[in-house]
Structure 1
Amino acid sequence: MHSPSAEHRALQRTYGDLDFITLARDRGALPTLFVDLGYTPDAEFNTLHGHQRLYFWDSANQRQVDVFVDTLRMSHTLDLRQRLHVERRTIPLADLLLTKLQIYEINEKDIRDIIALLRDHPLGSGDEETINVDRLLAILTADWGFYRTTVKNIALVREALSEDGLAEEPDIVGRLDELERAVEAAPKTRAWKLRALIGDRKPWYELPEEVRRD
């Protein structure tokens, strides 16, 4: 919806699932909604995890739906409660980028999504077709673990740019450079600094449970 570059020959990929997020106050209506749309709820998963995540399956189209409640909890936690009404159809670009940068075990598809977002959108202030640097910094200067995974993933994006023949595109490389400079220069919270002292000696990420149908 935001990035025409997703159709670039080096960035095209398949989409096997749909991800949504809702507020906790609205989650009670979702099971009925998705059943009416032809989806089957995963009763066991939803009973165990429904306070933070719901799962539905469309057998006819071999398509799955994940619904996150209030926050996206994967390798890291991203609170989206105040961000759901900024954009009409998706979460804001900065948050879309953060959902990819937070993945510890990042894969090629997620890297392609990062490149597409950076290819099509400048970094700046505000959220309208702009990757809001203030939002990125609010997360990455308060949570060392999120920052650590982001730095690792930026390095992997740079490697992928070389492999895909996109390394010469100044917008993408320049925006990666700009993001890194902004994060490194920004003041960090006390909690960030204390966790940084521990560093890699303690895991800084979670390995989320993946729900898949055979």
Structure 2
Amino acid sequence: MKTVIAAVVSNGIEGLEKYFVSSDLVQYTFLEITKEFSPDLDLYHLLIVPNGSDHIAMHKIKDKVLTFLNNGNTLFCFDGWFTNWLPNNQWVMNTDLKSIDQRYTVQSDQYNLLENVTIDDLIYNNNISGWWSCGYIEAAQEAEIILQDTWNRPIVVFDEKSTKGTIFMTASGPLGDIGITTKTNTYLNNSLAQLYQNALFLVAKKINF
């Protein structure tokens, strides 16, 4: 079985490497954003843009990202992006509605990305709702809306239609590769770890079959 070769965009955020740990399934390389940021994405199957990434730097390489996707590769985006670097999908920041009223419901899940994921874990943290995502996604027309919020806005989206590749994105909801053995964590809980693992296994299946 081929190992997934993945690149993680890094702003130098402390501790980021703890959330993307290489294993037999995936090998992570961190791409540190510099003034001359222009990575060779041809080396990777998967590009990961974590929460808190520099969306201005990503905008500078948006043509590379599009080429990467049109070569049949996969992009994970867990950031809120103000610039339009991500093809055909746009994150929107909105503070008009109270996050305390936010709930998630499943809209569609053709690849079982929510298998063994408890939706309430994404909604509540210490009995407080609205802790995970922020804003919503204006999704590409044929993209699959996996989770939507109280106001029917896309929160988790899977898009394999608008480019020749695959985009898995959240509305600024952080995910990472910490395995699924730890019940709770200050950054990720078990269900978020499971959601990431499910998406990662889908990438592995894609490159191996």
Give the TM-score taking structure 1 as reference length.
0.27
Q: Which is higher, the Rg of structure 1 or of structure 2? A: 1
- Between Structure 1 and Structure 2, the one with more helix by share is 1
- Between Structure 1 and Structure 2, the one with more strand by share is 2
